Structure 1
Amino acid sequence: MTRLPSAVRGAVTTLAALLALTTASATARADTAPAAPADFVALRTVDRTILQDMRYVTAHNFVGERIDGYRRPLCILTRPAAQALHRAQTKLLRQGYTLKVYDCYRPQRAVNHFVRWAQDLDDQVMKGEFYPNVDKTRLFEDGYIAEKSGHSRGSTLDVTLVRLPTRPTRPTRPYVPGEPLVPCFAPQRDRFPDNSVDMGTGFDCFDTLSHTLDPRVQGEQRANRLLLKSTLEEQGFVNLAEEWWHYTFKPEPHPETYFDFPVSARSLTRAPESPAHDAHR
């Protein structure tokens, strides 16, 4: 075997030591859940009057189980988005309404959970409520599921209106896995209990009736959608046309960054770490 010169051997030894140190550091970071940047806040610290009905920490969602990364029923947003939502809430309270959020910041691990579920065509437990008219093979093609979500950037939320005085924030009874399901576009009195105003469909309804300005949605249902839309747009939010509940505050503080810290109070109190950027943006 050829013997390397002493200078080369020394360089190789140094490089090996550096690689070992780097690997150990990477492993340590991987074992520690990332924290939120300093400009992320819990919505309740900005406005305690906005109702929170965080669906993905429960089993009552289109997957049918608690979603990865949701450790607490907590709405987290960038501070500018939370402040804009507070301004909208102030106006709505004077009109006899309150906002209610279903989802806010969403970690990338939750999006990955959605993708795995969508690829499992045998799992259609919640089809009867959330996508009764959509073949699961089309969820990606039709845009209902994607590998990246604006929610992970921290300024997007899913929101509705509740008329004052409010009924209980939570449904009058808990969802029982396996119970009979009612289509999300059925009359409101037949759908799973929710204290929001009638928007024509339930939240996360995978159907064209969920398009904000679908012409089939008229009367009080359309008026409710337009009230939510106009109020939020005045404060800088932009609606996703395919989902009456989906709004993004503009300009986004983190327009090209997808975060993965868990939804928990602890994520907001630990020392911030550098966020991972989307390699495919």
Structure 2
Amino acid sequence: MTRLTSTLRGLVTLCAALLAVATASATAGASTDPKAPENFVALRTVDPTILQEMRYFTPHNFVGERIDGYRQPLCILTRPAAEALHQAQVNLLRQGYTLKVYDCYRPQHAVDHFVRWAKDLDDEAMKSEFYPDVDKTRLFEDGYIAEKSGHSRGSTMDLTIVKLPAKPTRPYVPGESLVPCYAPKDERFPDNSVDMGTGFDCFDTLSHTLDPRIQGEQRTNRLLLKSTLESLGFVNLAEEWWHYTYKPEPCPDTYFDFPVSAKSLTNSR
């Protein structure tokens, strides 16, 4: 058995054991939140230069409100994933770019919120932007919503690339007019990301990383993100240009439910 294999098996065992302890603690007292395993960190402690625009802490997402479990606009990841992301950032900074994360670790409470929303067929407040051509009755069947998410294991993130110097992105104003997420970049909601062909969380086949309709600068930008991350052990979800998972995952079979908050982390207790 190699040292790496032994270490990874140890981490998997630790993840499962800590999940059991956290679940028991939360059950024992309603006011006690589960805590993150020791190998989870705030990304900013590993690389403070990576931009963070945590969409599910805001109402600018396909649900239209802050998502359950997001108590702070904070990117939390397993340490191996955060350290690999730091190296990707180093490589991109040399080329005049920075990474920006939209979502990182996602608690099961948040996934449950998505599921409840998807089953409420009358709530289509954000349809015009995020899923203009998708019937809400098909969100589960088409794979846009699921009852479990790899994000809850802590090594998956949603992210993009921003050209330096980074321009600020204005806040979303609830109730403002919505534009389809696949509209030309200068028409859809302003994002300081380079043009990826669609916005983040666009429920459309145009979001497939290698969709042949995405060409020119948009394709070049997607491939820059893809090649940079894949060279460091990240794996892309082919249906979402923004979705990457660091492999091997320290917690490949464990879905956590501690809140997105600095207080959830070991070094903040």
Common topology (TM > 0.5): yes
SS of the equivalent of 2:182 reads coil
Shift of 1:25: 7.5
Q: Whole-Å Cα distance in 1 between the matches of residues 27 and 100 of structure 2?
A: 39
Please say if residues 103 and 158 of structure 1, whose CA atoms lie closer than 8 Å, have aligned partners that are also in contact: yes
- Equivalent residue number for residue 192 of structure 1: 189
Q: CA deviation at 1:120?
A: 0.1
| Alpha-carbon separation, structure 2, partners of 1:83 and 1:267 | 19
Number of equivalences:
246
- Corresponding residue for residue 230 of structure 1: 227
| Per-residue deviation, residues 240-268 of structure 1 (Å, max 9, x unmatched) | 00000000000000000000000000000
Deviation, structure 1 residue 269:
3.4
Matched, 1:48 2:45: no
Contact 2:59 2:66 in 1 (8 A): yes
Normalising by the residue count of structure 2, what TM-score does the alignment of the two structures yield? 0.89
> Are residues 231 and 27 of structure 1, via their aligned partners in 2, closer, same or farther at CA, if it must alter by over 3 Å?
closer
Question: 1:31: Cα distance to partner?
Answer: 3.0
CA contact (8 A) 1:35 1:270 kept: no
Q: Which residue of 2 aligns with 1:211?
A: 208
SS of 1:31's equivalent in the other structure is coil
Q: 2:267 & 2:28 partners in 1: Cα distance?
A: 16
Counterpart contact for 2:262–2:268, Cα < 8 Å: no
Q: Secondary structure at the match of 2:177?
A: coil
CA contact (8 A) 1:84 1:235 kept: yes
The one-letter amino acid paired with 1:85 is: L
Matches within 5 A, 1:1-281: 27-168=27-168, 171-172=169-170, 174-269=171-266
1:197 Cα deviation after fit:
0.1
The 1:74–1:127 alpha-carbon spacing in structure 2 relative to 1, beyond 3 Å, is same
CA distance in 1, matches of 2:163, 2:27: 50
Q: Deviating runs (4+, > 3 A) in structure 1?
A: 24-27, 269-272
CA RMSD of aligned residues (A): 1.5
Residue identity matched to 2:173: V
**Unmatched 5+ stretches in structure 1:** 1-23, 273-281
Is the Cα contact below 8 Å between 2:37 and 2:266 reproduced in 1?
A: no
> Structure 1 pair 196/271, CA: closer, same or farther in 2 (3 Å)?
closer
Deviation at 1:177, TM superposition (A): 1.5
Structure 2 letter corresponding to 1:260 = D
Deviation of 1:179 after TM superposition, in Å, equals 1.4
* In structure 2, distance between residues paired with 1:44 and 1:248: 18
Q: Which runs of 5+ in 2 are unaligned?
A: 1-23
Q: CA deviation at 1:271?
A: 8.9
User: 1:78 offset after TM fit, Å?
Assistant: 0.1
Go from structure 1 to structure 2 and tell me whether the alpha carbon gap of 1:218 and 1:33 turns closer, same or farther (over 3 Å shift).
same
